[in-house]
């Protein structure tokens, strides 16, 4: 039985769809429970300093959800198509940092920093992709391993 599991080929496309879908479902549930409003208030409290007027404009919810959807699936796709755990962690971390930097940019543009939906989407999509990648042999890892074997480790 264990040999059949090792011969099992990973379904990277399905894993991308599931990772992105789970991230969006999580965020939709948290939005329904009004947790995202509290998270947006936390971001606003951290980024707005005393003496600054509160931004009057708000981001279009459609734009926010489109960005969250794109990031959910694209992040998982990139993470599951590159070799190496460290590379995946770097991509995930840099995507999270760039997403967090949306907040100050939005404040400078006189918009409220309502980035909670996108931040949670990036966190959960990356987490799901990492869990899948650590429990399966990803084709990108296999290709790198084969390439190193042919070159005997030389570059």
Predicted confidence (pLDDT) per residue in 91-139, tens digit? 999 999 999 999 999 998 999 999 999 999 999 999 999 999 998 888 8
Contact call for residues 109 and 56 (beta carbons, < 8 A): no
- The 10 Å Cβ neighbour count of residue 103 is 22
Provide the H-helix boundaries in the chain. Answer: 2-7, 12-32, 35-47, 61-79, 85-100, 102-108, 116-135, 139-151
Q: What percent of the chain has pLDDT over 70?
A: 89
Predicted model pTM: 0.85
Which structure tokens are listed for 38? 């509290």
- End-to-end Cα spacing for the chain: 38
Reported as half-sphere exposure (CB side, CA atoms, 13 A), residue 133 has a value of 27
């Amino acid at each position: 039985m264990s040999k059949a599991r090792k011969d099992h080929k990973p379904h990277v496309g399905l894993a991308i769809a599931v990772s992105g879908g789970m991230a969006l479902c999580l965020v939709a549930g948290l939005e329904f429970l009004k947790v995202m409003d509290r998270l947006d208030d936390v971001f606003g409290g951290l980024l707005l300093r005393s003496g600054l007027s509160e931004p009057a404009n708000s981001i279009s919810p459609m734009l926010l959800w489109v960005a969250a959807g794109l990031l959910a699936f694209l992040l998982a796709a990139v993470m599951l198509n590159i070799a190496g755990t460290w590379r995946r962690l770097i991509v995930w971390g840099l995507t999270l940092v760039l997403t967090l930097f949306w907040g100050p940019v939005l404040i400078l543009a006189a918009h409220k920093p309502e980035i909670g939906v996108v931040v949670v989407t990036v966190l959960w999509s990356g987490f799901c992709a990492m869990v899948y990648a650590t429990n399966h042999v990803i084709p990108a890892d296999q290709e790198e391993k084969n390439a190193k074997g042919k070159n005997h480790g030389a570059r």
